[in-house]
Amino acid sequence: MKFAVIVFPGSNCDVDMYHAIKDELGEEVEYVWHDAESLDEFDGILLPGGFSYGDYLRSGAIARFSNVMKAIMKAAEEGKPILGVCNGFQILLEAGLLPGAMRRNNSLKFICRPVELRVENNETMFTSAYEMGEIITIPIAHGEGNYYCEQETLNKLIANRQIVFRYHNENPNGSLEDIAGIINEKGNVLGMMPHPERAVDELLGSADGLKLFQSIVKYWREAHVVNA
């Protein structure tokens, strides 16, 4: 499986994402600059964390107009797995690929530490390697991770099982319904504030994030066997 790590001006978790895929997952991966016009050669798209365009206006607001977003939209329509982490999640929200918006943390402070998540749906292409209700430890690092949406949207997220991860025991940023990660209705676009790419080896304090990437590869291989 071949992954693309999208790099925007201000991305700072792209190297972490690249390492997770190449060295821990053992799959092919390339950096792709934000002005790329095509992602056709890639099987999975990864939008890393950081401060795209310096977080001017608001997080992800400028990045969503980058040239590569047209190709990301196309990949989403084709059903390719797309993962946006932290700033990547914010960009997916701004682009309309996921519903809702991000607000400042309730504390108005940047938070950087491990947190516990509960797997709310293990029947997605991103979570099949987890057990339903499994508690995992993944680090967060954000100042605007307070997820919000209107009640109608929340009702749909709950009804469609689009809430994939919730914060467990504590809600570090004030997110609505303890939401830490959601998918689109089609099930191929996941946005999450915690950083699974920073939890792929016990030397990092946790390897719980590796299962997410393994789930993507498992889905992709099974889909290609069926279509072969």
- Annotated active-site residue 123? The verdict is no
What whole-number distance in Å separates Cα of residue 178 and Cα of residue 160?
Answer: 17
Residue with tokens 């001006």: 9
* Region 91-96 average pLDDT: 96
- Annotated active-site residue 86? The verdict is yes
pLDDT of residue 56: 72
Please check whether residue 142 is in contact with residue 195, taking contact to mean a CB–CB distance below 8 angstroms: no
What whole-number distance in Å separates Cα of residue 130 and Cα of residue 146?
Answer: 25
What whole-number distance in Å separates Cα of residue 167 and Cα of residue 179?
Answer: 6
Nearest Cα residue to 145 out of 181, 114, 104: 104
- Selecting among 86, 94, 144, 168, the annotated active-site residue is 86
- Selecting among 27, 94, 120, 197, the annotated active-site residue is 197
pLDDT of residue 59: 79
Question: What is the chain's mean pLDDT, rounded?
Answer: 95
pLDDT for 131-176, tens place per residue?
A: 999 999 999 999 999 999 999 999 999 999 999 999 999 999 999 9
Query: Binning pLDDT at 50, 70 and 90, where does residue 226 land?
Result: low
- Annotated active-site residue 13? The verdict is no
CATH tag, 2-227: 3.40.50.880
pLDDT for 37-64, tens place per residue?
A: 999 999 999 999 998 877 777 778 888 8
Give, in order, the Cα–Cα distances in Å from 216 to each of 10, 38, 96, 182: 26, 21, 22, 15
Q: What percent of the chain has pLDDT over 70?
A: 99
pLDDT of residue 183: 98
Nearest Cα residue to 186 out of 94, 124, 95: 124
pLDDT of residue 137: 98
* Region 198-220 average pLDDT: 96
Every domain of the chain and the residues it spans: 2-227
CA-derived radius of gyration, the chain: 16
SS3 187: coil
Kindly provide the b/e burial profile for residues 58-85, where b requires at least 16 CB atoms within 10 angstroms of the residue's own CB. ebbbbbbebebbebbeebbeeebbbbbb
Q: Which two tokens stand for residue 1?
A: 């499986």
* Region 186-191 average pLDDT: 98
pLDDT of residue 53: 79
Q: What percent of the chain has pLDDT over 90?
A: 89
pTM: 0.95
pLDDT of residue 228: 55
pLDDT of residue 91: 94
SS3 111: strand
pLDDT at position 125 over 70: yes
Please check whether residue 172 is in contact with residue 140, taking contact to mean a CB–CB distance below 8 angstroms: yes
Task: Specify which residues 198 forms β-bridges with.
Answer: none
Query: Binning pLDDT at 50, 70 and 90, where does residue 227 land?
Result: low
